[in-house]
Amino acid sequence: MLRQQVIAMGGGGFSMESSPLLDDYILNSAGENPRICFLATASGDSAEYINRFYRRFTQTHCQPTHLELFRRDQRDLEAFLLSQDIIYVSGGNTANMLAIWAVHGVDRILRKALEKGVLLCGLSAGSICWFEEGVTDSFGQALAPYPCLGFLSGSHCPHFDGESERRPAYHRMVRDGDISPGLAADDSAALHYVDGELYQVVSSRKGASAYRVEESDGEAVETPIPTLYLGE
C-alpha cells in the first residue's frame, strides 16, 4: 500500500530560513534521490524564487525540476507531475494559485499524485492549500478564511508566531464559526500527515510548534501539539 504524505510548513524551508532541517526532512521522507518539482504558481512563477529553489536543491541528493503555468510549455502536465516523488509548493497568493490550478487541471492532478504516493508539501500558501480551509491574506492585509483543496480535514493557519495578527484572527474565526476548527503552525514548524492523519509535528527551530484550535463554550481553545525538534 502506498502511503499518502503531506508535509505542511507554517513557514520555513529554503525561502524563509537558512536552516536546511525542514527541507532535508522532506527529502528524507520521500526515499533515496527523489525527484522534486517546485510549483511557484502562488508567486506568479517568480524567476528569482525558482532560482533560489535550484540553488538549494541542486547540491543535494535529489533531482530538482519545476513547472511554470504562467509561461506554460507543451508538456503533458499530468504525466510530468505524476512522475515526481515530491511536489513542493511555494508561498504567495493562495486564491490566485488555486484559481490558476483549476484552469489548468492541476488541482485534479495533485489529487491523483497524492493517491499515487507522491509527497505533497509546501509553506504558507503551499501549506494551507491541502486543507479544507485556510487563513489567507490573498485579498489584501485583512486575514480571511478561504476554501482550499480539501485533501486534509479541517482548517489551517500558517505563520502562527511569525505574524502578530495570525493568532488572534484564527482564534476569532474559529470562535465565531467562520472557519472550521483546525491546526496552526509556527514558522519553522511542519505538520506531517500520513494517510490523512497527523503523524507528527517537526521543527527546525527550538520553540517552534503547532496547535489545535477549537471552539468550546463560545471561546477558542488552543492546545499545543508535541513537536520534534530536528536539530541536535
At residue 120's C-alpha, the angle toward residues 109 and 193, to 5°, is 125
Which are the catalytic amino acids?
A: 124, 159
- The two beta strands, 197-203 and 227-229, are parallel
Residue 173 CB neighbour total at 10 angstroms: 24
At residue 119's C-alpha, the angle toward residues 144 and 85, to 5°, is 135
In the DSSP assignment, the letter for residue 102 is: H
- The number of residues making up the chain comes to 232
At residue 67's C-alpha, the angle toward residues 66 and 73, to 5°, is 130
The four Cα atoms 105, 109, 110, 115 give a dihedral, to 10 degrees, of 150
Helices 106-116/94-104 angle, 10° precision: 90
